[in-house]
Amino acid sequence: MSAISLSPENHTETFHHHHAAPANGYATNSIEINDVSVRFKTPKGVFTAVKDISLAVGRGEIVSLIGHSGCGKSTLMNTISGMVKPSSGSVIANGNLVTKPGPDRGIVFQNYSLLPWLSVYQNIYQAIDAAIHGKTATEKKALVENNLKMVKLWEHKDKLPGQLSGGMKQRVAIARAFAINPSILLLDEPFGALDALTKSNLHVELLKLWNLDNREKTIVMVTHDIEEAIFLSDRVVVMNDGPAASIKAIVDVPLPRPRNKKEIVHDPVYMGIHDKLLGFLVDKLSINDL
Amino acid sequence: MKKIFSLQTLYFLIGIALLGGLWELISTLTKHEIPSPRATWLVFREVMQHPMQNDPDYKGIGTKLLSSLERVAIGFGLGSIVAVPLGLLVGSSKAMMGIINPIVQLLRPVSPLAWFPLGLAIFQDSHKASVFMIFICSLWPTLINAAFGASHIPQDHKNVSKAFGFSKWKYLTKILLPFSLPHIITGLRLSVGIAWMVIVAGEMLSGGIGLGYFVWDEGFNGGSIAKILVAIIIIGLVGLLLDKLFLFLQKRFTYAS
């Protein structure tokens, strides 16, 4: 049975457990997650979403969190953004203990989260105005213009979000996150609702923005798309199914950059990583199906 | 070619024709005790001859209408000024909800007319008592709907505010108010509808002026059922226009995400 040959035990030697030790090959850690557990009180009792997770992410590294729906990957990411407080353990971002959201961490939400009554321009302006202090209105306006031009939406600046396609909305959300110039970008299933073509274009656009910034921004992305995770990431963190989710495996993606979407899929290294990730993710599903 | 008659227009005309037919039938059955549409139309034209007349001893129908609208505008305006901020506060705070909600639930079912004698006792003036009554009955739907809006702000919008560190003022003006606005307008629309219904009853009690007084004095006391029917039609049309105005505003301030 293929399900048995793909069981994770066969791959034990290939994954590393990071206990917040410096991420491989990176001079400094951008994010350190130390023994983080998140528990929620529900009417049915205490629900443990994630349990005892430790992970370090280097400055300028791109890391994907991958796993089945409801495995707590978004919860884990929200402890970095400061939207969720760990019940135990701690998260350090840029050397500071995370207690709440801050302008050093930009967030791109799953469902765009644009304010429907504000124009594209105002959506970005209001975010900059709230997050960045000590800049004049002229400087803030210049930031909006630069960032909207970067995602090629300047000519749509006066439209309301309701008048845009899903891909355009997500580009506005990405521009908004970049506009506050955070050193850490947190993307929560950013391309999940988009068609394959739009998705591919946005992957390339995201990497372009990352390159423009000398690859200094650290990116953590939640996804359930294996191809997307490999194409974008330096490391892919596979999570166990919740409740009490933990890290199942961490897979390095040693593919040189810049990566070419069309060529990369024929690379034996890519195919090896793809198979490995598929094994981790499909394994449980096929056992359930038997 | 643009269609002159849509199906909706046709339905509308059928509805009006049915109403007219029923009216005609009742008129015939009552041996014209209830005047026919045609007889009513003649009285309508007569009433409309000097609508804006404003002499101490005789006031035209238009003058009466305006005085009714004026009272509604003042009472409804004051009620809304109180109800909108209070409703937003109630919707945003569990404590305020706990404090205000029982009061609203207790007072809301009270017939607005019950407030009239209280207003009369407080203000010693029937005009002010009517305005007071409109004020009270305009509060509840607006307050309840504003509170509903404020308490149903999507988590997505709250997340944006949290993630980018919106100030309290920015949250109020860029998220809370714009999101609640369609709900507030729904409340205003319900309030103005009730206010318009109540003013006619109120003016029957207060006497002196307004459409309600016209119905009572010139219609019932004057023995002209046609005048009552004319007043009913005018009251209905004005109520319809007020409703359409708020419906328009409601659509204007509703946004697709």
Question: Residue-wise over A167-205: b if at least 16 C-beta within 10 A, else e?
Answer: bbbbbbbbbbbbbbbbbbbbbbbbbeebeeebbbebbeb
Q: Which of A6-20, B29-43, B89-103 has the lowest mean pLDDT?
A: A6-20
Q: Which two tokens stand for residue B55?
A: 């002499």
pLDDT digits (tens, 9 = 90+) for A44-65: 889 999 999 999 999 999 999 9
Indicate the CATH number for domain B43-252: 1.10.3720.10
Q: Which of the four pLDDT bands, split at 50, 70 and 90, describes residue B104?
A: very high
Angle at CA A58, nearest 5°, toward B164 and A10?
115
Torsion from C-alpha of A166, A168, A174, A179, nearest 10 degrees: -150
Q: Which of the four pLDDT bands, split at 50, 70 and 90, describes residue A76?
A: very high
Neighbours of B31 (CB within 10 A): 7
Contact B163 A114 (CB under 8 A): no
- Across all residues in chain B, what is the average pLDDT? 91
pLDDT digits (tens, 9 = 90+) for B29-85: 999 889 999 999 998 898 888 777 777 777 788 888 998 999 999 999 999 999 999
- Report the first-to-last Cα separation within chain A, whole angstroms: 10
Q: What pLDDT is stored for residue A2 in this prediction? A: 38
**Residue ranges covered by each domain of chain B:** 1-34, 43-252
**Which residues of chain B does A133 touch, with a Cβ-Cβ cutoff of 8 Å?**
none
User: Nearest CA to B33 among B18, B46, B23, B42?
Assistant: B23
Q: Which two tokens stand for residue A210?
A: 């990352």
Average pLDDT, stretch B220-237? 89
Query: Which candidate from A101, A115, A161 shows the least CB-CB separation from B165?
Result: A101
Contact B159 A129 (CB under 8 A): no
Angle at CA A42, nearest 5°, toward A36 and A43?
160
Q: What pLDDT is stored for residue B69 in this prediction? A: 93
Q: Which of the four pLDDT bands, split at 50, 70 and 90, describes residue A197?
A: confident
Is A172:A127 a contact under the CB 8 Å cutoff? Answer: no
Establish, for the pair of chains A and B, how many residue pairs have beta carbons separated by less than 8 Å.
59
**From CA A206, how far away is CA A191, in angstroms rounded?**
11
Query: Which candidate from A101, A113, A162 shows the least CB-CB separation from B255?
Result: A162
Search chain A and give the residue with CA nearest B158. Answer: A113
Angle at CA A163, nearest 5°, toward A162 and A167?
85
User: Nearest CA to A67 among A287, A289, A285, A288?
Assistant: A285
Contact A126 B165 (CB under 8 A): no
pTM (2 decimals)?
Answer: 0.82
Q: Which two tokens stand for residue B96?
A: 């305020």
**From CA A102, how far away is CA B36, in angstroms rounded?**
74
Does A8 score more than 70 pLDDT? no
**Read out DSSP for A80-141?**
HHTSS--SEEEEEETTEE--S--TTEEEE-TT----TTS-HHHHHHHHHHHH--S--HHHHH
Contact B164 A81 (CB under 8 A): no
Indicate the CATH number for domain A2-99+220-289: 3.40.50.300
The C-alpha of A105 sits at a distance from chain B's nearest C-alpha, in angstroms, of 8
**Residues in chain B, overall count:** 257
**Read out DSSP for B7-23?**
HHHHHHHHHHHHHHHHH
Neighbours of B193 (CB within 10 A): 16
Which of A47-51, A124-128, B6-10 holds the top average pLDDT?
A124-128
State ipTM: 0.82
> Which DSSP letter does residue B36 get?
P
**Which residues of chain B does A83 touch, with a Cβ-Cβ cutoff of 8 Å?**
159, 162-163
Q: What pairs with residue A147 in β-bridges?
A: none
> Which DSSP letter does residue B35 get?
P
Is A236:A64 a contact under the CB 8 Å cutoff? Answer: yes
Q: Which of the four pLDDT bands, split at 50, 70 and 90, describes residue A4?
A: very low
- Across all residues in chain A, what is the average pLDDT? 87
**From CA A234, how far away is CA A56, in angstroms rounded?**
13
Q: Which two tokens stand for residue B120?
A: 């009369």
**From CA B75, how far away is CA B70, in angstroms rounded?**
9
Share of chain A above pLDDT 90, in %: 60
Q: Which of the four pLDDT bands, split at 50, 70 and 90, describes residue A14?
A: very low
Search chain B and give the residue with CA nearest A111. Answer: B156
